[in-house]
């Protein structure tokens, strides 16, 4: 069920539980600012989710409240995951859903990193 991206951060969301080690995940990369792990229902041969360690609901919330260090660390982590996965060539796609119209389901900011095949048009027309 899509979320309302203006809601307060919910500490019980599934990605918060992964961050606390309460639920398993296939870690791809981690540092002080970010955790990256494989999506449980991959939509491409490579489908990694990159999340900030801090409690942010969405890109909107993160861009408004996160420190410059958190933002820089997170953005660098997304780029590193793509490089480490060998995606720079041939290319890849980033996606961050925000709120109901986007279909965002997990209320903790996550950037999807898709790659490993030609990804087709950006959106269905
Ligand atoms: P959203 O629709 O919010 O942008 O994307 C949420 C993503 O999280 C989906 O692609 C979904 O497959 C993934 N996901 C949901 N629950 C889990 C989980 O418990 N573990 C992992 N690794 N991915 C999950």
| Domain count of the fold of the chain | 1
Give the pLDDT mean for 74-103.
98
Q: Which of 1-10, 48-57, 94-103 has the lowest mean pLDDT?
A: 1-10
125 in any annotated domain: no
24 CA → ligand 1 middle, Å = 13
In terms of Cβ atoms closer than 10 Å to its own Cβ (0-12, 13-18, 19+), residue 21 is exposed
5 in any annotated domain: no
Give per-residue burial for 29-43: e unless 16+ CB within 10 Å, then b: beeebbbbbebeeee
Q: Are strands 27-30 and 46-52 parallel, antiparallel or unpaired?
A: unpaired
Residue 46: CB within 6 Å of ligand 1? no
- Say if residue 109's pLDDT is above 90: yes
- Are the beta carbons of 25 and 119 closer than 8 angstroms? no
Q: Could you give the count of Cα atoms lying within 13 Å of 77 in the half-sphere of its Cβ?
A: 26
DSSP 85-112: TT-TTT-EEEE---SGGGT--SSS--EE
Residue whose CA is closest, atom 4 of ligand 1?
104
The average confidence (pLDDT) of the chain is 97
Kindly state the DSSP code that residue 9 receives in the 8-state scheme.
P
Give the pLDDT mean for 74-95.
98
Residue 101: CB within 6 Å of ligand 1? no
1 in any annotated domain: no
Q: What is the pLDDT of residue 87?
A: 98
- Say if residue 114's pLDDT is above 90: yes
Residue whose CA is closest, atom 17 of ligand 1?
40
Ligand 1 probe mutation, 39, 60, 102, most atoms within 8 A of CB:
39
77 in any annotated domain: yes
Give the pLDDT mean for 95-124.
97
Minimum-distance ligand 1 atom for the alpha carbon of 97: 4
Q: What is the pLDDT of residue 19?
A: 98
Residue 41: CB within 6 Å of ligand 1? yes
Which residue segment(s) compose the domain that 70 sits in? 14-115
Active site (annotated) includes residue 110? yes
6 in any annotated domain: no
CATH of the domain at 75: 3.30.428.10
Give the pLDDT mean for 42-46.
98
Give the pLDDT mean for 10-17.
98
Q: Are strands 111-115 and 46-52 parallel, antiparallel or unpaired?
A: antiparallel
7 in any annotated domain: no
Q: What is the pLDDT of residue 125?
A: 82
31 in any annotated domain: yes
Question: 124: pLDDT confidence band, cut at 50, 70 and 90?
Answer: confident
């Amino acid at each position: 069920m899509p979320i309302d991206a203006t809601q307060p951060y919910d500490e019980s969301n599934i990605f918060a539980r992964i961050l606390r080690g309460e639920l398993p995940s296939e870690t791809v990369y981690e540092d002080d600012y970010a955790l990256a792990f494989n999506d449980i229902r991959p939509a491409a041969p490579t489908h990694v989710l990159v999340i900030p360690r801090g409690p942010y609901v969405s890109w909107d919330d993160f861009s408004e409240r996160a420190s410059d260090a958190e933002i820089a660390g997170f953005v660098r982590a997304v780029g590193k995951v793509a490089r480490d996965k060998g995606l720079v060539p041939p290319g890849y796609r980033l996606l961050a859903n925000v709120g109901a119209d986007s279909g965002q389901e997990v209320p903790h900011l996550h950037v999807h990193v898709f790659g490993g095949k030609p990804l087709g048009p950006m959106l269905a027309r």
